[in-house]
Amino acid sequence: MITEEILSNDFEMIGSDETISHALSLFDKNEVLIVMDENKYRGVITRKDILRAKIPPETKIKRFVRHAPKIKLNTPIEETARLMLESGIFSLPVFEKDKIKGVIKDTDIIKKVVEREFGDMEIQKFMTSNPVFVTPDESIGKVLQIFKKHNVSRLPVVERGKIVGVITVRDLMEKVIHPEEKPEYGEFIAEKKRYLKIPVKGIMTPNPIILPPNSKVRDVVEEIVKNKIGGMIIGEKGKLVGIVTIKDLLEPIAHARKEEKFFIQFCGETDEIEGFDKEEGMTYMKEFIRRYGEFLENGYIYIYLKQYREKR
């Protein structure tokens, strides 16, 4: 199956000279915004990019544009899934020559693939078991640290062994980093000490949807799409068993590309490290595999990045 078959025209464009404040107002319906300079494509900006520290709301978004892979109409969806995972961008622009024809989203791929045998498999095969979680009294500052350290966008909230809620990047965007309030404070509210001390229970979504580990992938995806959420908590009798995200379900699709021996994914502080270019890093890793791949077994290569500053 190729990208053209599930192409979407549901996307939002924004000028590179627009402000962070304006970008925030457009994230209600889209996780990714296509950035244009007049009529020329510049790149994308994602919801998670806005969680960077100390960005004044009047800052122009051109400073934070990311270079997303350009998808062609005839690109196989397995290849598109791989590019999503490698780039960390889950809504990619689709081009015909130099013209944007639409976007392809992670949910578009998943919804199509679950129509196959993949949809009949049990979700426990793909979920993350014993996931990191927080308690209702944990601070928002701690949540932000976990999001960044573990490269996740949602956390189950557990109290006395029972699931009581979920907190996500979207929750922070909508309830903490609020567009109308930013001008008053001059920078993102999430960076103000008193907001970082807000307890999770004041921001979380209570009584989240919980599905059992023997649920079919198709049923889980249906709930994710219907409720417009990025993942599902997996539990039994109110106790946390695991968590599964759209990203988790994209991995086996990307891995289905038989011509690839290895699946490479960068994680960690990929957007924070000065001078780091993901494309250059990927080129380096592919050269490494070309030289030494015959000595390695097929599989996944995860590269965790963290910046250390020299102490003087």
User: Per residue in 110-120, pLDDT tens?
Assistant: 999 999 899 99
Give the pLDDT of residue 183: 42
Of residues 72 and 310, which shows the higher confidence score? 72
Q: What is the CATH number of the domain that holds 217?
A: 3.10.580.10
Final residue of a structural domain among 83, 105, 127: 105
Give the pLDDT of residue 208: 95
**126 and 243 assigned to the same domain:** yes
pTM of this prediction?
0.72
Structural domain includes residue 64:
yes
Residues, the chain, total? 312
Answer whether residue 96 shows pLDDT above 50: yes
- For 222, residues 6+ apart whose C-beta sits below 8 A from its C-beta are none
Q: Compute the distance between CA of residue 217 and CA of residue 249 in angstroms, rounded to an integer.
A: 9
The per-residue DSSP string of 10-41 comes to: --EEEETTSBHHHHHHHTTT-SEEEEEETTEE
Give the pLDDT of residue 80: 94
Of residues 255 and 181, which shows the higher confidence score? 255
Give the pLDDT of residue 175: 75
Give the pLDDT of residue 189: 45
Choose among 55, 53, 33, 28: nearest CA to 43: 33
Answer whether residue 270 shows pLDDT above 80: no
Give per-residue pLDDT as tens, 199-229: 999 999 999 999 999 999 999 999 999 998 9
Q: Compute the distance between CA of residue 137 and CA of residue 307 in angstroms, rounded to an integer.
A: 30
Answer whether residue 253 shows pLDDT above 80: yes
Give the pLDDT of residue 81: 93
Give the pLDDT of residue 149: 86
CB 108 within 8 A of CB 10: no
**39 and 69 assigned to the same domain:** yes
Give the pLDDT of residue 295: 66
Give the pLDDT of residue 193: 63
Answer whether residue 249 shows pLDDT above 90: yes
Give per-residue pLDDT as tens, 274-293: 666 776 777 777 777 767 66
Give the pLDDT of residue 162: 96
**140 and 164 assigned to the same domain:** yes
**200 and 131 assigned to the same domain:** yes
CB 221 within 8 A of CB 114: yes
Final residue of a structural domain among 81, 105, 129: 105
Give the pLDDT of residue 184: 44
- The lowest-confidence range among 47-56, 76-85, 127-136, 157-166 is 47-56
Give the residue-averaged pLDDT of 231-257. Answer: 92
Final residue of a structural domain among 105, 137, 169: 105
Structural domain includes residue 256:
no
Structural domain includes residue 218:
yes
**227 and 198 assigned to the same domain:** yes
Give the pLDDT of residue 212: 97
Number of domains in the chain: 3
**9 and 92 assigned to the same domain:** yes
Q: Which residue has the tokens 């979680």?
A: 133
CB 52 within 8 A of CB 118: no
Answer whether residue 179 shows pLDDT above 50: no
Answer whether residue 259 shows pLDDT above 50: no
Give the pLDDT of residue 266: 74
The residue type at 161: G
Give the pLDDT of residue 190: 43
Structural domain includes residue 114:
no
Q: Residue 98's pLDDT band (boundaries 50, 70, 90)?
A: confident
Give the pLDDT of residue 174: 74
Of residues 53 and 35, which shows the higher confidence score? 35
Q: Which residue has the tokens 């219907």?
A: 226
User: Chain-wide mean pLDDT for the chain?
Assistant: 84
Domain containing 266 equals 261-305
**66 and 140 assigned to the same domain:** no
Give the pLDDT of residue 192: 56
